[in-house]
Amino acid sequence: MIGSELPLLFLDVDGPLIPFGATREQLPGGYPTYESGHTPQVRDANPLITRINPAHGPRLMALPCELVWATTWMTDANECIAPWLGLPELPLVHWPESADEDERHGLHWKTRPLVSRAAGRPFAWLDDEITDTDGAWVEAHHSGPALLCRIDPRRGITDEDYADLGAWLRMQHGHG
């Protein structure tokens, strides 16, 4: 029964989990780095992985949703990011070969595949490249509730983002 399923949470890596792009003026001292209780080879897989705060893992797992990777990291998200965060292996969205036409019209190339994957289920999408065009397209083409959260790539997911997302997810699950 669709109504009893948890909402989906489509999660991008670069930007939401790995912050980038802030200048020294915006972030004096640069980005903080973290250690994780997981193997050194996970840390060595990508030098930016140490920017991912392992505390995101428990916070994401506590949300009333089904987590799904929505990232170009593809299987590397499960091999590198999930262990760093202490997450189980998550399903991932498989992307189309080309989305040139969507991009020419201002639609993010991930938007159609995410709406298709949601198949009417409530979903939230955390990404640093979401625009108003994506929001309008989702509203017009998705039959269920959706929350598109544009994450500032200079900061990554913030406490405020978690509060907004958690409240929205709880509301969707409570009305499911």
Which CATH number belongs to the domain containing residue 62 in this structure? 3.40.50
* pLDDT digit string, tens, across residues 93-126: 998 876 566 665 788 999 999 999 999 999 999 9
**Count of all residues that appear for the chain in the document:** 176
Q: Match 């590198």 to its residue by tokens.
A: 80
State residue 163's pLDDT score. Answer: 97
Structural domains counted in the chain? 1
Closest by CA to 85, choosing from 111, 115, 114, 63, is 63
* pLDDT digit string, tens, across residues 133-158: 999 999 999 999 999 999 999 999 99
Range of the domain at 68: 2-174
Distance in angstroms (rounded) separating the CA atoms of residues 163 and 142: 24
Q: Are 6 and 64 in contact (CB under 8 A)?
A: yes
Per-residue pLDDT at 171 exceeds 50: yes
Closest by CA to 7, choosing from 119, 101, 107, 84, is 119
